[in-house]
Each structure stands twice: as C-alpha cells, then as structure tokens.
Amino acid sequence: MVVRGVSTQRPDEQRRFADEEDIPFPLLSDMDAALAAALRLPTFRARQALRLKRAVPMVDRERAVRHVHFPVADTPAAVETSLDVAKGL
C-alpha cells in the first residue's frame, strides 16, 4: 500500500502542515492543479489561490477509486479512518 497526500500548496507549506497535523505520509504538491482537474477533486478559492477541499480518495493500482472520505472535518481522524479502510481493501 502506498499512501500519499496531495494539495495545491507549495512544498514548504505542506511540510509545515504535515508537521502540525501529524501526517504520517508524504504530501505531493499539485500547484498547477493538474491532478485535481484530472480526478475532478472538490476545490475552492482562498485569496485568489485554488485549494483542494479536504477529501481522502483511495485509488488502486488500476486507477479505480475504491473509497472516498469526504468531507473531512477532523484531519487526524480522517487519516486514521482512511488507513483502517485501506488495510481492508
């Protein structure tokens, strides 16, 4: 199982967020929102910047979406729940 997070933030912003929220896996930067557009992920604008709404889509090796946790109100709880779900897939 490979776990990655994605956001439209810069890598330095992601590192700070991951440290603050105790994210136990790498975050990938999608600053141009290409992945967000390809997966049709939910977005919003903040200070003219495109941001991803917090969601946890689980995509298998064949690129099929197997599970989605949305909306995410509690990031640490969503991470824990999603890791539990991933173990069962």
Could you report the per-residue pLDDT of 71-89, keeping only the tens digit for each?
999 988 988 888 888 888 7
Which residue stretches of the chain have pLDDT < 50?
none
C-alpha span between 7 and 61 (Å, rounded): 20
Residues β-bridged to residue 50: 45
Phi, psi of 68 (to 5 degrees): -135, 130
What's the distance, Cα to Cα, between the start and end of the chain in Å?
10
- Residue 83's pLDDT is 84
C-alpha span between 70 and 56 (Å, rounded): 7
C-alpha span between 37 and 73 (Å, rounded): 22
